[in-house]
Amino acid sequence: MEANDVWYDSAVSYQLDVATFHDSNGDGIGDFPGLTARLDYLRQLGINSLLLMPFHPSSELDDGYDVIDHYGIDPHLGSFGDFSAFIDEARARGIRVLLDLVVNHTSSQHPWFQASRQPGSPLRDYYVWVEEPDDDHADQVMFPDRYDSVWTYDEQAGAYYFHRFHDFEPSLNHGNPKVRQEVMRILSFWLALGVDGFRVDAAPYLILPKGPAQHFSDPHEYLRQLRRHTSRYGHGALLVGEANVAPEELGQFFGDGDGLNQLFNFVGAERMFLALAREDGTPIRELESLLPPLPPSAQWMNFLRHHDELNLTWLDPATREQLLDSIAPHEHMRIYGRGTRRRLAPLLGDPRRVRLAQSLLFSRSGAPLLYYGDELGMGDKLELPDRFPVRTPMQWSAERNGGFSTADPQRLIRPMIDDGEYGYARVNATEQWLQPQSQLNATRTLIETRRSCPEFGLGRHEFIECDGGAAVLAESYFLDHGRVVCVHNLSRNACTVRIRHPELAGRDCYELISRQVARADAIGALELRLAPYGYTWWRVGSIFSPAENGASVASALAEAPS
């Protein structure tokens, strides 16, 4: 395996929307030159992979997920020259770039759909049309508060079209080989421009039947086809699937290591929040029995929050309601009957819990994803509709508009959080960068430490003996001769615990965050004092990682793009 083929094993990814990150020209909308100007901030934070939300021309009804042209760039966000300059500057800083591949559906204004509306059009079968649906299929609707059917009648077409999401987002018919060819062309186009991979939006719905159309003899062969196509580019292109399906179905998306490289870990996210709410590590301990084993080279992409709601679908109804009562007690904080539209910091409240949650995230096996602004503890704007409360502009400074834009506030693409506990005067990158104990610097330390430990991305995981009860989670990650031990206190109460593992016996252990040293006794026991919501990361036997010691994994950890 070439080193570049496993770059994502050591990746720390950061999801952002170009339109809300930084505005370079004062029109109130973030753009690629603005993002390029902030790459040094991201590099210093420790980010080496960016996941960009859609930036294509759209009908502007679903924050870019209603694409009109998959080959274009929204002119408000810049030109292809600006995009190429961004790619070059990101690459120079060792930062990979992933795009959101939104091909489950298009905008109803997309030229394909407009042509498809004509009876007899050669593009008719690009979408799913029926003269009369046999069922509303209301159980397949993604937004049950807005729609009660996946079918909408189009007078010009004289037929109903299928849409699992909004009625202005007709679903593509991926059972049509011509549609699959179009998707391959889209992948090729952006890979040729230097991107390093894609988040496959709504991955299960590419392969599930839509009405009477699109029936695959082997649905997952299509995903393997996508993998083979991206692999031809030879620079380790990554496919990350958004597949929020039942845990027992997840393994099919990885295949035998020939399917998607990574999957968003929705089950892991809801379990982390359940553990935090209960102050009990049991939901995290149960994850290994819930998730399928991973084939070689496959990984989970772990996250706490992202651009959509915190989705709690796979908790039983009583547990889901119990958790929502804790983290989103008011109805306007909830959405779609399955989750919350709050950001991480207001959702957890206590800054110590936010840091604990981030320590849990960055110490998971797999690859962590950080949502923009969560490194600062940004808040949400609940007066905005739908999923938009967590999509407010980035807060760079205490200056006007939080340093996001010089435009008049009424011209901004979205209102700033401009007052209260999370207003930009109090929560911003500039002020926090100057404060050693800030949320930003705590996040940066976790990322730096994570990236120094190849055991998390490449090693094996096990829970280890600990006498701290259910509230204390003690875990070990090991790779060749390297071992890292992480201990988390999910309780609001301080505690003294004793962990034990035979590999610790008589060895020095080095605390990686506070820079302390302690020696385990002859039976491998180590006594630790944990603060309320405290955490501690220890390297066993040496301050150096296996890669720094010249172990066999060193060649697998190339972080800078070639």
Do 324 and 251 fall into the same domain? Answer: yes
Do 482 and 441 fall into the same domain? Answer: no
Question: What CATH number does residue 116 fall under?
Answer: 3.90.400.10
Which residue range(s) make up the domain with 500? 459-556
Active site residue 325: no
Last residue in a domain, options 450, 473, 501: 450
Query: Taking the CB of residue 199, how many other CB atoms lie within 10 A of it?
Result: 26
Question: What CATH number does residue 268 fall under?
Answer: 3.20.20.80
Query: Taking the CB of residue 161, how many other CB atoms lie within 10 A of it?
Result: 24
DSSP per-residue codes, 464-494? -EESS-TTEEEEEEEETTEEEEEEEE-SSS-
Do 411 and 356 fall into the same domain? Answer: yes
pLDDT at 214: 55
Do 446 and 465 fall into the same domain? Answer: no
In a domain, 181, yes or no: yes
Burial class from Cβ neighbours inside 10 Å (0-12, 13-18, 19+) for residue 495 reads: middle
Taking the C-alpha atoms of residue 356 and residue 536, their distance in angstroms, rounded to an integer, is 10
In a domain, 288, yes or no: yes
Q: Are strands 535-540 and 482-489 parallel, antiparallel or unpaired?
A: antiparallel
Last residue in a domain, options 420, 450, 480: 450
From the first residue on, what is the mean pLDDT of each consecutive set of 10 residues in the chain (562 residues)? 62 98 99 99 98 97 95 98 99 98 98 96 96 83 88 96 96 94 97 97 90 71 94 84 96 95 98 98 96 93 96 96 96 95 97 98 97 99 96 98 98 97 98 98 98 92 96 96 96 98 96 95 97 98 70 37 33
- For the entire predicted model, the pTM comes to 0.94
Do 396 and 479 fall into the same domain? Answer: no
In a domain, 167, yes or no: no
In a domain, 561, yes or no: no
Choose the catalytic residue: 9, 82, 201, 455: 201
Tally the domains of the chain: 3
Choose the catalytic residue: 5, 63, 169, 242: 242
Do 100 and 122 fall into the same domain? Answer: no
Tens-digit pLDDT profile for residues 179-217: 999 999 999 999 999 999 999 999 999 998 777 655 667
Do 357 and 468 fall into the same domain? Answer: no
pLDDT at 209: 79
Do 95 and 182 fall into the same domain? Answer: yes
Instruction: Collapse the DSSP code of 497 into the 3-class scheme (helix H, G, I; strand E, B; otherwise coil) and give the result.
Output: strand
pLDDT at 139: 78
CB 416 within 8 A of CB 402: yes
The region, left, alpha or beta by phi > 0 then psi within -120 to 50, assigned to residue 537 is beta
Taking the C-alpha atoms of residue 195 and residue 513, their distance in angstroms, rounded to an integer, is 33
Do 13 and 123 fall into the same domain? Answer: no
Distance of CA 509 to the CA centre of its chain: 32
3-state secondary structure 409-445: HHHCCCCCCCCCCCCCCCCCHHHHHCCCCCHHHHHHH
Do 226 and 352 fall into the same domain? Answer: yes
Query: Taking the CB of residue 224, how many other CB atoms lie within 10 A of it?
Result: 15
pLDDT at 7: 86
Q: Are strands 49-52 and 96-101 parallel, antiparallel or unpaired?
A: parallel
Report residue 391 as tokens. 């999509």
Active site residue 201: yes
Do 337 and 470 fall into the same domain? Answer: no
φ, ψ of residue 366 in degrees (nearest 5): 115, -150
Query: Taking the CB of residue 435, how many other CB atoms lie within 10 A of it?
Result: 10
